[in-house]
Structure 1
């Protein structure tokens, strides 16, 4: 072969290498395309997720949905393109290279080998010597055979090259045409797809331009507001950005919400930050948004709120419900006040929105006492089984058939520290005044301790209105009616109980000196001793005020006697331990009237001292203190017991002090209304408090009245003796029960080192000794039992349950069947 032929064959054989390289590059492109498609799919999925998150914004949601759909179609078109490249370019060229090119390579190898043999035969033929004919003949014969074979193989090789070149041209053109058709289809469909959303894209572009303009304007407004707020902060140093406003009439029903710290009820008393809200007359909280709401107070109508200053943490307030209390902490003082006002406003709103019939339908529900007596017993009571319900007993007093403040008929709420009945709307206003002014309780929903019931029967709307509305007629003021606006009622109640504008003030020294008022016409006090019988109405005409007071006393005495025959005490001790002990003391003592309110102790002759004051004193004589026909004795004023004092000497504090000793609750109420300090100490009488005087007078109801009005149960006199010491000395078992119930401490001794228990032991008073020891044992068990420190959570094997089981075996044989159970005090106790 000529050099030109060799070169042509060599060139043709090298044309197969680019085809093989193209197949490899196509494979790489397809793999990269698949990765691109996968990335595009993830991108489209991200757009769809973002669209779901932005459903509230219609503009963004619509844009993302349309763009996501279009991009998904484009991704599908790309998948078709790469699939076509896989079939047309890669697969088709791969088959060509694998089959045709492989055969060509095998033929080329065989051709190259024969060509080498031909060259060797030519060399041997050229090297054969002339003188060796045999070698020349062999060399010539081998060259001839090899040349013939080479020519045949060369002809086949050239044919193979021509066939390969023709097929390569067809395969490459066909593959590229298919691939380009796929590209055309991709872009054509993509164009049509984008052309369809082109109007929306133009509309979106116009809206986007407007958004840019609006955003710039909003940015300028925000910068202006920011500068204004900064300037206000610089001017007003007292500005507090933590203040939150509340809205009782919020459309969504949420009056107020925000973060508060809540003290847990576990043993460690930990504080946790929770999201609180006032909604639907309930106080609820949750830890996270997805968590369910936890109800703290189910009905705000039966709770109260007050700030707490006696704990270490700041800005705390207590929400007290009938069953529990919840201690909360705000972040600032303003926030605390906002929360307190929000709760009070919600309570008032709930009263306005709920009719009184709502409570009538729930008479049979068992409820715990209200905030004024959280520690009182909450045992279920079957009100329907009793002949007379609590409302009937209390409403039977003069004036109690109507609301004390507006005259609404059938009042079913009470202020236990004032001793009055209220309608539901006025009770809501009283709650807003705070428990220091008025303690509200429901006649139907709350349980009523006997001492509270008797306290309500001692006072009543007539007595309290006589005190707090003493100058209304003189001032020509008109009392609001049942249909008066709430604002008018609220203004009247605040003026009446908070500002006390309608009280009859004490006569000054100058007025008395000038003879403007008789010395004993309004502020005088006398002690009158009477027996256990009702005072009859005096003969002849009397002034209206005299008739009201005496009629009230007569009604109270008869009503109380009937009340006591039908009602028996059932809770005067620890609410979860010894709530039935007091009923054992009353067993066998017979019915007791209010006039003989000795509290299971007092005078042995059944007589009582009554404090008379005001115009009543002017008209009361020995002849007017008559008794009923059934009386065994004659009630009369004892000259030696009379202790008149003129207006220069008798001030509200003295009036309260003397009224407590004489067991006259109306006088005590008027003294407190005029500003007497319930915890004042009488330095002229060994620093004794009014509560100690009430103990000395032997009246359990007087003690209860003072405690309801803030008397300190642990206040001691100059000899170190508290009310519990005096009650123990005098043997007043009922008062001992009451003081223990109200948290009186029995660990401290007086100046002689005597604690109540040692006093009771020296006096051989088995009842009081048992009470004090059980109470002390109860306190020790509470400390030792840990998590069983809540009422009703004691296991049957706990010591508390053993204590409860021993209560019925309390020694009743030691109790007297007389009206008052009195033990003589120790000989050295002469100061009382």
Structure 2
């Protein structure tokens, strides 16, 4: 018993005080215990999250049954382990919930309710005791002669105060007694309950894992056996690799010690008849529907792009007589779509030793009607082996006369190119056309100039020799270095090697740099004609118009900026650099010249002058290439300007033929009265408007690339509808390859359609401009694009009789275009 006597006495007050101190000490201990319990339950929750995350990760790693990787790492076994781990995680979550309920919640209830009640009751007891003392003092201070009614009132107050005091005293005593009683069972019950929860948790986990114990030991045994098998396989693989390295060393020694012997002729004669007989036996013994590999391995293949770089490809020669290679290492042999564009049918192929335009060793060629593969083996023996195998397959195919459908080959011997090997010069500056000489693209109209040998360069003449004869092209357009052998395709200028390196750092929208000697496939007749029509001299009249006329003489006068000796930076780019100037000076000048256009006189359309769209439309319609180039640079004209943009709303609503007739009636691109309203110059008055003077002195004149009648009006006079046409449509109707090339180099859309759904290729075929049609086809134009009537360029060519040009007909009918 905490209270022996219930009377209010000093001993009673002392006992109350001792119990209150004990309760306060218990409060502090409970708060520290609660923090530990809370951290423990939080840890159980994190452990549960970790168990579930681990189970999910294990399932993701090897849970799928159909995944080859999952099967290899034991996916089905891990799936069962994942289920067990999730069960154990569930048990842990149940334990956390029970511990939180039995410990945390009960401690919170004890501290926040029971101990807090003691503090509240103590406050009430102190207040009631003070009130009782005050009332008692007032009652005892009454005089003997006090009135009875006053005495009665004080007695009533004293009685009420004492009753309230006793009530609060007993309440406090009850609360303290409750605290003392709960000390004996509350905490033991909570802790023992949590331990029982732990017991159930570990018991459930043990039962679960005990049931899986045989399975776990079985998996461990299987894993140990797999380890032993893997070690054995590694040992065998190491032995095979060692033997393979020895064989490679022997082959290399034999290869380097042997002479570079190659089969002669077209490669059809056998180099080893026993090998041919073995190949023929393999091909004949292969079951129907099955394919056997005769030889496979890596060979270097020369790319069909402009650079003609060499790339390592994996080739396979099979019993069907097919030679194919994988463009990507992950290509599958059974994937017909993957190998369809990289297959050569050897029945219609021949094999040649060495490669054209290459002095590399170990090269050979496989020539078929569809493509020519230039290959390079790693050594002479490897080349002999490949050529022997391929020759044997060809001989077997010819001897047995295996029926294969031969691809169409034109009588002119044009080789078909697959879609995977073609490229577009206007998009990537890489052209995959045949290496024809400039004279091979002569005008087909039968005029005398087509057969005049003086009109074209000699067959052996190089592009660098042709273009450097143009006035101004003997020196670099940017620094004046002599004998430039690099060029910018879209700018139409020749550059030295240092300036070409600076141009390469610019975006391809500004400058597309190619070599005059290395990138031989770039220099098609259209590109040559474009360069012959421009030249460095005329190009610099546009790009350097605001540059002082003699910028080199300005150096002595102090105009040239000083050069920082540490980095060679140029502080004044108004002076044209010299050939021996530091590269930093050239870089700043070229950036200011072409990127910032600091020296270009901007063409401003003043009041009364036609809009820029109309000016460039008239220039293209009049076939003024130099004026078109000037408007594109100085006036920021759009190479995709349409008829509606050029003529405006008032004129485009009228008959387009009338508007065009008005445009063509002017002999020049603009009238002299209009010319005076322009802020920028157009062409030198002493220069021929249609072509520059430089073109006249060049071996191949720009007008040699003009098809059809010499009059531009006659070339497009029968146009029925110009609605929706753009500049490229008009250039194709005129038939000037150089003008078409200029527009393509400046971003003209090759697949743009007019109001009748016709592309520029449609217009080329309609007007009989076959050379322009071939140019568009090599640049990626789609020959199967229909117009609104559903007719493709091929169908229009057949209707108009253009199929007499077998090369054009073959290009239009290519299925891979």
Does the alignment reach a TM-score above 0.5? no
Calculate the TM-score normalised by the size of structure 1: 0.38
Greater Rg, structure 1 or structure 2? 1
